[in-house]
Amino acid sequence: MRLDFETRASPAQVRRALTDFGERRLRTWHRSLDPETYRVLGAGDTWAVARESSSHSPFWVVSRYDWSDPDVVRWTITESSYRGGGEGFVRATPLAGGGSRVHAEWDNTGAPWTQRPLLFLVHVRPMRRLFGRLWKAALDEYAATDPG
């Protein structure tokens, strides 16, 4: 999956939205994060491990997030309902008039052949557009409510 879009959120706000593993995460990502399955399993200054899924999705993942690089937030899927892994990253660069250009990529690897058709559907064009719109809406809303 690859997403490229512009948001009103600054690069710092994008980073905060992606690395906040407190209660605000559920509010920020309310369109795509299922509160019933969301659990923080561990966290440090530049990392977190969380179990997450989207509402009505047949898949859940446990991901280790890392933001030790100041320009990139990365994650590695360490456990999943589809018995595979994957990894991804997000980079936000500033726009001249404010806001950011967001570039995100992630993949799913190692899934058994029985799970691959569903995972393929997640990565095709209509779903990419949907994910892009969901992320943009979440980050625009975050920018409007972020105290600084």
Query: Alpha-carbon distance 29 to 50, whole Å?
Result: 14
The pLDDT, as a whole number, for residue 56 is 80
- Longest Cα–Cα distance in the chain: 47
pLDDT value at residue 104: 95
Mean pLDDT by 10 residues, the chain (148 residues): 93 98 95 94 98 87 97 96 86 97 82 56 63 93 88
Map out the domains of the chain with their CATH numbers: 2-145 (3.30.530.20)
Q: Give strand pairing partners of 87.
A: 76, 107
35-67 burial, b for 16+ CB within 10 Å, e for fewer?
eebbeeeeeeeebbbbebbbeeeebbbbbbbbb
pLDDT score for 59: 82
